[in-house]
A = this chain, B = another copy of it.
Amino acid sequence: MATIKDIANRLGISVGTVSKGLNGANDISEQLRQSVLDTAVEMGYTPKQMRAKDNRRLCVFIENMDYETPEQFGYDIILGFKQLAYRERCDVTVIPVTPSLQANEKYDTYMLKNGYVGAFMLGFALQDNWMEQLNTTTMPTVLFDNYIRKNLNVGYVGTDSFEGIDSAIEHLISLGHSKIALLNGSSHSMITEQRRQAYIDSMSAHNLTFDENWMPYAHFSADAAKYHVAGLLDLGATAIICGNDLLASGAIEDCRKRGIKIPEDISIIGFDDIPVSAKLNPPLTTIRQDRLELGKCGFYTLNSLINHVSVSKNLLRPQLIIRNSTASVKN
């Protein structure tokens, strides 16, 4: 675990200043205090004041998502959530969840028994036991990328797929493309359906031609791409937007095997901007979800619910990150 000295070294300030930041002293700026707290959380240092008995206890439930190292998808989401929770004097416990935990104990019971006043849920699937129970839970609960209808205690946070897909299509149009396919993720996922609708809306708004064959479902894995790329090439696609970066990396690999050059012969766009995207060959153009912001947004939304402001959906802006996997259409 990091010490005060580690935090001081990282920020290039004195140990005394770090202490002031951690203790809420008045003679340092609010901005510096927040930097100290954010860095403490990032480095795994837990100031004593954060362990006080009267702190509100929150938890992050996570499954189907890696989060233990900075390269993994969930790491920054949890970090962002914790950074804001610290500022507001909340304790955060991260709990990996298994199907058997969900089968053995009701969600509300688990929360009450352990004294949690709110939860942020990452990576849950629609068929999970606890998802069904969220329809009627009385615990303030925020879901990442999942939506529960009509329960005032449950909110959804995610990235605005409509704006993301539209940015990607507009970027491709500016490069002369009109034959644009969507190689989507797994069917029966809320996010997959949202991105499909976003593709339909944006293609229609730009008067581009497409049909069912242009938007196949695959899976959210690199391996799934190879079953679909050939079909899209046969249709004459000059650009493929993929459901996530893994799928995009698989599409790049499959094209390479077929002797098709990227971006000269075909443009590929991903979704997420996971750390590996910049290191692909070629570096991937992708629709970025800012995971640190998603974690912060999760905290803001949970805090709203705890304060009886019934947020239904809180969506973040995506950003199109343009790298080298997209180029002007081949004449």
- Chain A residues with CB under 8 Å of chain B are 149-150, 152, 160, 163, 167, 290, 293, 296-297, 300, 303-304, 307-317, 319
From residue A30, how far is it (CB to closest CB) to chain B in Å? 9
A-B contact pairs, 26 of them (CB 8 A): A149-B163, A150-B163, A152-B317, A152-B319, A160-B312, A163-B312, A290-B310, A293-B309, A296-B309, A297-B304, A297-B309, A300-B300, A300-B304, A300-B309, A309-B316, A310-B316, A310-B317, A311-B314, A311-B315, A311-B317, A312-B317, A313-B313, A313-B314, A313-B315, A314-B314, A314-B315
| Given contact pairs A149-B163, A163-B149, A167-B150, A297 touches B311 in the complex (Cβ within 8 A) | yes
A308 to B297 CA separation, bound complex (whole angstroms): 10
Residue of B nearest to A308 (CB): B293
Contact partners of A290 in chain B: CB under 8 A: 310
From residue A89, how far is it (CB to closest CB) to chain B in Å? 10
Contact partners of A297 in chain B: CB under 8 A: 304, 309, 311
Oligomer copy total: 2
Contact partners of A312 in chain B: CB under 8 A: 160, 163, 315-317
Contact partners of A300 in chain B: CB under 8 A: 300, 303-304, 309
A4 to B96 CA separation, bound complex (whole angstroms): 50
Contact partners of A309 in chain B: CB under 8 A: 293, 296-297, 300, 316
Is A160 in contact with B307, judged by CB distance below 8 angstroms?
no
Residue of B nearest to A297 (CB): B309
A309 to B83 CA separation, bound complex (whole angstroms): 13
A167 to B149 CA separation, bound complex (whole angstroms): 10
From residue A166, how far is it (CB to closest CB) to chain B in Å? 8
- Further contacts, 4 of them, CB under 8 A, given A150-B317, A296-B309: A160-B312, A297-B309, A312-B315, A313-B314
Contact partners of A152 in chain B: CB under 8 A: 317, 319
Residue of B nearest to A149 (CB): B163
From residue A144, how far is it (CB to closest CB) to chain B in Å? 14
Contact partners of A315 in chain B: CB under 8 A: 311-314
Contact partners of A167 in chain B: CB under 8 A: 150
A303 to B304 CA separation, bound complex (whole angstroms): 12
A152 to B150 CA separation, bound complex (whole angstroms): 29
Residue of B nearest to A292 (CB): B309
Is A160 in contact with B313, judged by CB distance below 8 angstroms?
yes
Is A307 in contact with B296, judged by CB distance below 8 angstroms?
yes
A149 to B307 CA separation, bound complex (whole angstroms): 29
A223 to B314 CA separation, bound complex (whole angstroms): 36
A310 to B314 CA separation, bound complex (whole angstroms): 10
Contact partners of A163 in chain B: CB under 8 A: 149-150, 312
Residue from A150, A160, A317 with most neighbouring chain B CB atoms (10 Å)? A317
Residue of B nearest to A320 (CB): B150
Contact partners of A307 in chain B: CB under 8 A: 296
From residue A193, how far is it (CB to closest CB) to chain B in Å? 13
From residue A122, how far is it (CB to closest CB) to chain B in Å? 17
